[in-house]
Amino acid sequence: MAIDKLISAPVTRRSALRVSGAALLGLSQLDLLRAQSKQGEPPSDALAEQKPRQISVLPLNSDGSAKLFGESELTPVADIGVIYRNTDRKPPMIEFDPAKVNIKIRGQVTGKVGGLTLADLKKMPFTTQITKLQCGAAKPSGVVKWGGVRFADLCKALDAQPMAQYVMFTSFDKYVTTEDISIVSHPQALLAWEMNGGPLLPEHGAPYRLVLPFRWGARSIKAIEEIRFTASSFGANNM
């Protein structure tokens, strides 16, 4: 468009808003770049070196399973760290008694869709294991005797369909993880509601939590609200 026609073109409210919005966006991006420059940070689209965290290796066996511990090696509950992703490290304000909480079951299963109760779980073989959940700390601690059911037994009881290749877990604090079904079918993968012979405490995942001792601790999601079996790892809409 010629400059004289551009100047003489009528200015509508929509075009004015579009121009002002673009100008504000440009200014905000410029302000961000200036702030990063003052702080010595590179622009957001540039790579920068970062020092690796000092962490201990996972104590795994040669077959990839987690090391098992004895009763004498249990960590006192008071010494076990607590992390909740979205509630300032504190347990969400929910009912913590597993007998009063149903887990929502969704997705490609035929055995039971709806609410999974503690009575349903107690029909499956109860199992315990003493393992360490490691979150990446330099000197991790947290050897716990977990009690619950193997997730593989849960998949069998729910009749997870062959197309259900992933399992999505949602916590009451809205933290979400997705696992390949082969991972949660490992013999050491538990859905737990007990620890050290007593009830699972709120700060450690009540009413129910996942226990994956052969993966980093962040994968062992706490306070599970919903379990969804999906055909895709991005399966929030797969029903």
Same-domain pairing of 134 and 39: no
Residue 60 lies in a domain: no
- pLDDT at 65 exceeding the cut of 80: yes
Same-domain pairing of 79 and 31: no
Confidence of residue 35 (pLDDT cuts 50, 70, 90): low
| Host domain of residue 37 | 12-48
Q: What is the pLDDT of residue 10?
A: 57
Q: What is the pLDDT of residue 139?
A: 57
Distance CA 8, CA 154 (A): 71
Same-domain pairing of 209 and 93: yes
pTM of this structure: 0.75
Residue 205 lies in a domain: yes
Residue 136 lies in a domain: yes
Q: What is the pLDDT of residue 136?
A: 59
Same-domain pairing of 38 and 87: no
Q: What is the pLDDT of residue 12?
A: 55
Same-domain pairing of 180 and 77: yes
Confidence of residue 61 (pLDDT cuts 50, 70, 90): very high
- pLDDT at 9 exceeding the cut of 80: no
Residue 62 lies in a domain: no
Residue 103 lies in a domain: yes
Over range 110-134, report the average pLDDT: 90
Residue 239 lies in a domain: no
Which has more pLDDT, 119 or 11?
A: 119
Same-domain pairing of 91 and 132: yes
Q: Write the DSSP string, 6-60.
A: HHHS---HHHHHHHHHHHHHHHHHHHHHHHHHHTTPPPTTS----PPP--PPP-B
Q: What is the pLDDT of residue 39?
A: 54
Which has more pLDDT, 136 or 88?
A: 88
CATH of the domain at 94: 3.90.420.10
What does the pLDDT look like over 150-206, one tens digit per residue? 999 999 999 999 999 999 999 999 999 999 999 999 999 999 999 999 999 998 899
Same-domain pairing of 42 and 81: no
Residue 197 lies in a domain: yes
Residue 81 lies in a domain: yes
Same-domain pairing of 121 and 192: yes
Over range 66-82, report the average pLDDT: 85
Same-domain pairing of 18 and 81: no
Confidence of residue 114 (pLDDT cuts 50, 70, 90): confident
The count of domains in the chain is 2
Same-domain pairing of 27 and 145: no
Q: What is the pLDDT of residue 90?
A: 77
Same-domain pairing of 39 and 89: no
Same-domain pairing of 223 and 145: yes
